Amino acid sequence: MDLQQIRYFITLARELHFWHTAEKMYITQSALSRQIKSLEEELGVQLFERTKRSVKLTAAGAFLRDRWELLLDEIDQIHRQARKMHAGAYGALVMGYPGSIAYGFLPEVLARVAHSFPELKIELIEPTDIQLEQLLLQDKMDLAFRREPAQNPTLASVCLYSEPFSVVVPMAHPLQAHTFRGLEDLKAERFILSGLHHPTFYASCLRQLFQENQFEPDVYIESDFGAMILSLVAKGLGVTILPSSYAYSSLPGVRFIDLPQTISLYALWRKDNASPVVRNVLQQAQQLAETFRSQDRDSASAL
């Protein structure tokens, strides 16, 4: 007995007509009769009462029809779910991200994923740069976005796009994009920055930026949370330098001025992770990144 024999039986139990059933199941009537007879012999049960004019279910046949219909529905659902999992359209994903993409790139990625794969469940976490690779290696995270490529040889990474760093000043600040000459204009300012002493790639980028401009910033407040830094700048407590993605936050009271220095965004994942879910989400991110590479960011920078 196999699933196909049960499908033949269920269809015949609904049609109660051998010729109609054979036509629906794309087999000959004689082949259908052999399949039903084989099923009855294996079960030791008569399933149908046959006459030249009619086909009727026996009590045992009706019992099996009711039970097997439920069973087949469940099996079909299981098979559909398995196919969705194989295609990467069903499952779960743990994704890490930096705060700077929380206002522009990440919401767009998630919107695309939700539209294309509505049955995927995604858990978002915002780890530090130091934690991120460990979480990937320990299989506690499936896909991550961050500002530097993978360092561990068991991880893969791809650059998605690059964007400028931006000076962020309070809206009432006299500095304007058209009057901005360079970081030397900020030497007398108090800064609100991520800790420059941190051994992270992002902190090293900031240190290099200041070294190239030959001055050490007067860091008044340290914070590793970009949203908090923006809020403090909006309150007039100082100025900062952030990736221009933060301009998507639309926070009132701040002005973004792009710098020539840029910073990139990478996607990271384990090389041995063959998950089709990771493949699908990464594909959505790469397609969106093409848009981010080409789109005009002037309106965001003018905030």
Structural tokens at position 120? 């995927």
C-alpha–C-alpha distance, residues 143 and 93, integer Å = 8
Show the DSSP H helices in the chain as ranges.
3-15, 18-25, 29-43, 59-87, 105-116, 129-137, 201-212, 226-234, 276-294, 298-301
By CB atoms closer than 10 A (0-12, 13-18, 19+), residue 213 is middle
pLDDT tens track for 284-297: 999 999 988 766 44
Question: What is the extent of the structural domain holding 52?
Answer: 3-87
Q: Where are the beta strands (DSSP E) in 97-251?
A: 119-125, 143-146, 155-170, 190-193, 218-222, 240-243
Instruction: Give the global pTM.
Output: 0.76
Say yes or no: 147 and 282 in one domain.
Answer: yes
Say yes or no: 239 and 111 in one domain.
Answer: no
pLDDT tens track for 198-235: 888 999 999 999 999 888 999 999 998 999 999 999 99
Is the distance from CB of 193 to CB of 219 less than 8 angstroms?
yes
Name the DSSP class of 248.
G
Say yes or no: 168 and 255 in one domain.
Answer: yes
Beta bridge partners of 189: none
Q: What is the CATH number of the domain that holds 148?
A: 3.40.190.10
Q: Is it the case that residue 259 has pLDDT exceeding 60?
A: yes
In a domain, 80, yes or no: yes
Lowest-pLDDT range, 72-76, 263-267, 285-289?
72-76
Query: Torsion angle of alpha carbons 93, 267, 290, 169, nearest 10°?
Result: 110
In a domain, 302, yes or no: no
The pLDDT, as a whole number, for residue 83 is 83
The pLDDT, as a whole number, for residue 296 is 44
C-alpha–C-alpha distance, residues 164 and 242, integer Å = 9
Say yes or no: 83 and 11 in one domain.
Answer: yes
In a domain, 105, yes or no: yes
In a domain, 77, yes or no: yes
Name the DSSP class of 249.
G
Secondary structure class of 245 (helix, strand, coil): helix
Say yes or no: 126 and 272 in one domain.
Answer: yes
What's the whole-number average pLDDT of the chain?
Answer: 90
pLDDT tens track for 157-189: 999 999 999 999 999 999 999 999 989 899 999
Q: How many domains does the chain have?
A: 3
